[in-house]
Amino acid sequence: MVRRSAEPGRVDAGPGEKALTSGTRRAPRSLIEIGLPVVVMSVIVLVLPTFLPAFVSSQITKMMIYGLFGMSLNIIWGYAGIPSFGHAAFFGAGAYASAIFILKVGITNFWLNLLLAIVATAVIAAILGVPAFRVFGVGAGNTNPIYFLLATIAFGELLSRLAIAVRPVTGGSTGLSGIPEPDLGFGFRITSFRYYYLVFVIVVICLFIMYRVVNSHYGYALRGVHDNERRMQALGYNTWLYKYTAWIIAAVFGGVAGVLFAYYGKTLVPNTFAMITSDIAFLLVIMGSTTTFFGPLLASVVYVGVEYAASLYLRDRWPLIFGAMFVITIMLIPEGLGVWILKLWKKVIRGAAT
């Protein structure tokens, strides 16, 4: 694993602060430092749709969904040091589960549907996690999860094959279409304009929970597992259980992103599980940086923006551009956008303070 991402806590710490090591509780940071960007961003995102045409707010909805997807992968990759390559398995599981519950089972209530999809995703993650963590650390030593990468690639593909094969339930290779507008109960129907706000609320709730998780004792234990698993074992931690539960937590949030995506696109194809979707999550995390919490959200803004521009002007060359984004990220900004923005923000704060 990469050394720089081996110290997730350290990047957050400013030069004046004591460098944080895993396992110690972080002192609450100044309200301005975190609160201001969060509030400003939230207000901007909330106000935007009233000014912008519908197709732009639709892209912002997509940014939020992909941002949640990327950040869910970041829980296991950035914090626990487990670069799962099959995160689309959970995105797809959430999306398909919700679509199947609506279309085949007839559960129209959004909240019940979301809950069921979360349970389904968690079950699938719990099942796949057992073989996955058998191979973690096999290969080139404990710090080099090369075999795990290979194993997880196949998971998403396995599920997409299943989605093709189980035609009566999943619609086969044509997928599922005609997912209705979400029904929130109390006769309150959601239009695509209001869906933007629903996504916003759910993403904010998820981010809040995720933030609390990675900054809890549990989250620090995960960083400890990342930094030095042997030492954590010696300290009496059941590191397998930590990795396994982190895997399920990440899967659940990936599944929530999938549910939102199902309602957003209204159509699902087996590709939702496939390598291409996992690769998007992978790109979001590496582009956003594995060492910051919000990085993948930034990356998803860039990614969706580029994707939209490409769909207008260079539709045929999109895979080339998509691939180039990976290469440019790795060769030019290997530490990611998140770190870059964070440094900039620190500078601004310090400039304002003096």
Binding positions for another protein, rule: CB under 8 A: 1-2, 77, 83, 85, 130-132, 134-135, 137-142, 144-147, 149-151, 153-154, 157-158, 161-162, 165, 274-276, 279, 282-283, 286, 316-320, 322-327, 329-331, 334
User: In Å, what is the CA distance from 234 to each residue of 1, 76, 129, 230, 243?
Assistant: 21, 22, 23, 6, 16
Instruction: Compute the residue count for the chain.
Output: 354
* CB of residue 147 to another protein, shortest distance in Å: 7
Residue with smaller CB distance to another protein, 114 or 287: 287
The DSSP bridge partners found for residue 267 are 177
Q: Which helix (DSSP H) or strand (DSSP E) does residue 176 occupy?
A: strand 176-177
* CB of residue 325 to another protein, shortest distance in Å: 7
Burial of 310 per CB tally in 10 Å (0-12, 13-18, 19+): middle
Residue with smaller CB distance to another protein, 87 or 113: 87
* CB of residue 337 to another protein, shortest distance in Å: 14
**Tokens of residue 142, six digits:** 């404990």
Three-class secondary structure of residue 43 per DSSP: helix
Supply the Cα-derived Rg of the chain in whole angstroms: 20
Residue with smaller CB distance to another protein, 322 or 345: 322
Residue with smaller CB distance to another protein, 36 or 324: 324
CB-based contacts of 78, cutoff 8 Å, min separation 6: 5, 8, 285, 289, 290, 291, 292, 295
Residue with smaller CB distance to another protein, 39 or 150: 150
Q: Which residue has the tokens 């496939």?
A: 274
* CB of residue 352 to another protein, shortest distance in Å: 35
Amino acid making up residue 340: W
Residue with smaller CB distance to another protein, 31 or 327: 327
* CB of residue 237 to another protein, shortest distance in Å: 19
Amino acid making up residue 305: G
Neighbour count for residue 217 (Cβ, 10 Å) = 9
* CB of residue 124 to another protein, shortest distance in Å: 13
Q: How far apart are CA 95 and CA 116, in angstroms?
A: 11
* CB of residue 61 to another protein, shortest distance in Å: 25
The answer to whether 88 touches 277, Cβ cutoff 8 Å, is yes
Residue with smaller CB distance to another protein, 157 or 181: 157
